[in-house]
Structure 1
């Protein structure tokens, strides 16, 4: 009987300790948000990446009943600066990070040092997915990936390609490695500059996310999309497998994150808001205009595991291509 009394007393003490914490957590979730939410993005305002972050911010605003959501553009080092700031932010649910997968999967290999690691973040939910595209100008006469490879072999190392983000750079280098060709990379600050470089003859081809060209497809030859199968947003563009390259699935993807330690109830609430918005027809219409599609329901631990798998895949690709970190 005495042992039962001791156990009962211990349980009562534990319950008395945990109950206020549970109540506080529930109260926090119910009152969230009680002030402005800041959505951080690591790219210039008005660019495709910025538009995706603002779309996610709008879904959060709508889900919260119209609370104020502020988009903060923390530009620099391919989103490393933004990621570093979010990693150090207070994990109270009021700092949200919307970024492409390259932040976690390629940046650690492309830079000698990054001011964060994946464990510094709480995975919230997925946002969108799609492939990169290989592009030439019509005057080049290059209308397929096979013709591009033949052109690169003919140029024997004198060709050039343009890119903006690390995924595009990695995709071009991987094609070079797989096809046994050479081409000099030319980095551009933004897609408009890169497209001008392509049109002006500074580079022979370009690898990019499809967003910058979706409104002017007739001005470019879109040779292939870096996925195993064709994508719904660009059904006329061949995938890598049918272009002669198996196991060349270098999809781009975006997701929503918070600093590590963010409250579970708040994380779940924001994930629900984003997912509910992505299921609406207008979300598909929005992302299709950019050549992407909504990516719904990969949240929490599943999103973290997906990011870890992508990190491993890109590490192997970058090792194959001998890319030197900056």
Structure 2
């Protein structure tokens, strides 16, 4: 019996090979066109999502960045506010957007790091679900205590707290807030025991301290009451003194340990954002640190220019996630 020739199979295989070759050829032909689109970016309007309500600090940063990019690159950069779930709603929308450079995110360590740590399951990994484009500014915080506490420096406050474990309270904007993490980190690094009384926002927490019911708060909002006689602002959490408040020492200068509890604001894109787009944006943003007008606008919002390009910014985020996760695990911070 004669064996059958594999004619049909051979014909099918040849067709598949020809089809595959044609597809590959088309893809190769499209590569120069795709690269040309990236090189010419932007050719139309770009949206920068701010995942909070208008008027806040994140919104100020988003609009400043949009203004500088629009002037430098010649296309409209439009800020779109998408608040919800402490920044997760707007951030998630950008995460799912096409990585073409036309949808960006103005985020901060609260929406990108804190929320990814306290939310279980985590809504996203900020180091992999996004492309960190650039850190734009640092957000110094300030350590303030009630005027009823017999201390005038951070060192004296730590000593007083150690002599009175569990008798003092601190407040924040709420459980799981950045202020909550800062308070717990302060306790862990100074060996003190202070009870957390969560507020309903930073303003209500500050009112409690002004009323004498709270002894400690770490928040930029405390500056609003620094001359009222009810609180004492002891130090800034920034690595160096802030130009806008040169009389406020650093934690170390005030007798405390070196603590890194400064927030930040930055720009992100969806994962796999083209390197050319990232580099083009950084070419514009790196000049903001020496721009007097930009420095003034950031200072008005309590911020300090602090440009950090993509790769270095990504490393900072990874380090922050590890640090905040360790704080959360030790303090067992939960969102109420």
Query: What is the CA deviation profile of residues 280-318 of structure 1, one whole-angstrom value per residue up to 9, with x for unaligned ones?
Result: 11122222333331112x222222122112222333344
Is residue 21 from structure 1 mapped to residue 31 from structure 2 by the alignment?
A: yes
Is residue 237 from structure 1 mapped to residue 248 from structure 2 by the alignment?
A: yes
Query: What is the CA deviation profile of residues 233-270 of structure 1, one whole-angstrom value per residue up to 9, with x for unaligned ones?
Result: 43222222233433422221121100112233333333
The aligned counterpart of 2:72 is 63
Query: Alpha-carbon deviation of 1:129?
Result: 1.3
| Aligned equivalent of 2:217, options 195, 201, 206 | 206
Is residue 114 from structure 1 mapped to residue 114 from structure 2 by the alignment?
A: no
| Aligned equivalent of 2:113, options 105, 113, 116 | 105
Query: What is the CA deviation profile of residues 114-172 of structure 1, one whole-angstrom value per residue up to 9, with x for unaligned ones?
Result: 21112010121120014321113446564322343355446542432221273322221
Structure 2 spans left out of the alignment, 5+ residues:
1-22
Q: Is the 8 A contact 2:153 2:234 kept in 1?
A: yes
Matches of 1:249 and 1:262, distance apart in 2: 30
Q: Is the 8 A contact 2:58 2:106 kept in 1?
A: no
Q: Is the 8 A contact 2:170 2:196 kept in 1?
A: yes
Is residue 172 from structure 1 mapped to residue 183 from structure 2 by the alignment?
A: yes
Question: Size of the alignment, in residue pairs?
Answer: 308
* Shift in alpha-carbon separation, 1:278–1:58, aligned structure 2, 3 A: farther
Q: CA RMSD in A?
A: 3.0
Which moves more between the two structures, 121-130 or 213-222?
A: 213-222
The aligned counterpart of 2:293 is 282
Matches of 2:120 and 2:255, distance apart in 1: 34
Matches of 1:277 and 1:228, distance apart in 2: 20
Larger radius of gyration: 2
Matches of 1:198 and 1:248, distance apart in 2: 23
The aligned counterpart of 1:6 is none
* TM norm structure 2: 0.78
Q: Is the 8 A contact 1:135 1:207 kept in 2?
A: yes
Is residue 125 from structure 1 mapped to residue 134 from structure 2 by the alignment?
A: yes
The aligned counterpart of 2:276 is 265
Matches of 2:104 and 2:131, distance apart in 1: 10
| Aligned equivalent of 2:236, options 225, 239, 260 | 225
* TM norm structure 1: 0.81
Matches of 2:188 and 2:142, distance apart in 1: 17
* Shift in alpha-carbon separation, 1:214–1:183, aligned structure 2, 3 A: closer
* Shift in alpha-carbon separation, 1:246–1:28, aligned structure 2, 3 A: same
Question: What SS does the corresponding residue of 2:128 show, helix, strand or coil?
Answer: helix
* Shift in alpha-carbon separation, 1:56–1:311, aligned structure 2, 3 A: same
Q: Is the 8 A contact 2:50 2:79 kept in 1?
A: no
Structure 1 spans left out of the alignment, 5+ residues:
1-12
The aligned counterpart of 1:49 is 58
